């Protein structure tokens, strides 16, 4: 369990620096998780143009059309904004950065049974945080394992340069980009319990498995952050937020964009 004051040990900081990621167990409490549950259950039954646009046709054969990811929910949901600015999460980020962390993005993935995964990619290809890097805080809303589409990471790739992606396999990934791991490095699954948070560096190559189960969702609440000393970030992520909810503007990086570009052709089994 995370210690009461959420002060990272030297070993934990070293793990993040050398491996590119760090898991903190039980960072979210159950009452907080229940509030997030209720918020995104409500969102899942409506259409919010530009943020969540499900296809409610019962005949549709792609579960991700019914349950697409929610983009930037902090822009319309006070609950999402509150947990994007969760003090325990920001406390950890401040220690990992060695300076103030600024919130740039929130997302919610439902990942229903049968849903495709997301091919291996690097987050800072999209956020374009410079100088410095983005860090993701990936919160498991359900237990995650290899059957229901656990996250995959390629350890020790956080110092790897940002690569120009190849085209992914549309049968396995709902996004188009794929970054091949460097020679000799392999993706490993990260199994997590509800309420655990995985922090990882923006250059770390990561992705996820398909959800092979018939009855288990793999929901996750994911936020991205930037170091306060950064001067540039992709315009898709403006404005950034301090812990107190006030906004910060940075220079816009001309490239970058949403975290993963989705295939726009119909998915066929």
Inside any domain, residue 59: no
**pLDDT, tens digit (0-9, with 9 covering 90-100), for 131-167:** 999 999 999 999 999 999 999 999 999 999 999 899 9
Report pLDDT for 262.
Answer: 55
The CATH number for 205's domain is 2.60.120.620
How many Å apart are CA 64 and CA 175, to the nearest integer? 11
- pLDDT 10s digits, 46-97: 999 999 999 988 777 899 999 999 999 999 999 999 999 999 999 999 999 9
> Can you give the length of the chain in residues?
269
Following DSSP, what letter does each residue of 170-187 receive, concatenated?
A: TTTBSBSEE-PPPTT---
Position 204 scores a pLDDT of: 98
Q: How confident is the model at residue 267 (pLDDT cuts 50, 70, 90)?
A: very low
Task: Give CA–CA dist 121/116, Å, rounded.
Answer: 15
Q: How far apart are CA 158 and CA 97, in angstroms?
A: 14
Residue 2 included in any domain: no
Q: From the DSSP assignment, how many helices (H) and strands (E) are in the chain?
A: 6, 15
Q: Is residue 264 part of a domain?
A: no
**Pick from 143, 132, 139, 118: which is nearest to 259 by CA?**
118
Instruction: Please count the structural domains in the chain.
Output: 1
- Asked whether 163 and 99 are in contact (CB, 8 A), the reply is no
What is the extent of the structural domain holding 190? Answer: 14-41+66-253
Tokens 């188009």 belong to: 176
Phi, psi dihedral angles at 37 (to 5 degrees): -50, -55
pLDDT tens digits for range 158-208: 999 999 899 999 989 999 999 999 999 999 999 999 999 999 999 999 999
- Could you tell me if residue 9 is inside a domain? no
């Amino acid at each position: 369990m995370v210690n009461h004051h959420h002060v990272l040990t030297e070993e934990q900081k070293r793990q993040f620096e050398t491996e590119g990621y760090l898991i903190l167990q039980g960072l979210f409490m159950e009452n907080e998780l229940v509030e997030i549950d209720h918020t995104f259950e409500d969102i899942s039954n409506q259409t919010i143009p530009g943020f969540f646009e499900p296809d409610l046709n019962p005949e549709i054969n792609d579960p991700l059309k019914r349950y697409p990811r929610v983009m930037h929910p902090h822009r319309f949901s006070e609950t999402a904004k509150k947990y994007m600015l969760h003090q325990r999460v920001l406390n950890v980020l401040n220690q990992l950065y060695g300076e103030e962390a600024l919130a740039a993005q929130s997302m919610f993935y439902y990942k229903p049974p049968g849903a495709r995964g997301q091919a291996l990619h690097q987050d800072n290809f999209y956020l374009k945080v410079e100088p410095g890097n983005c860090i993701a805080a990936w919160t498991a809303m359900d237990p995650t394992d290899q059957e229901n589409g656990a996250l995959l990471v390629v350890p020790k790739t956080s110092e790897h340069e940002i690569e120009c992606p190849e085209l992914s396999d549309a049968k396995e990934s709902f996004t188009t980009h794929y970054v091949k791991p460097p020679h000799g490095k392999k993706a490993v699954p990260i199994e997590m319990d509800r309420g655990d948070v995985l922090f990882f560096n923006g250059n770390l190559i990561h992705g996820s498995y398909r959800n092979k189960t018939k009855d288990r969702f793999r929901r996750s609440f994911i936020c991205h952050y930037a170091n306060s000393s950064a001067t540039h970030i992709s315009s898709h992520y403006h404005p950034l937020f301090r812990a107190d909810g006030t906004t910060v503007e940075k220079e816009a990086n001309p490239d970058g964009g949403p975290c993963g570009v989705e295939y726009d052709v119909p998915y066929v089994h």
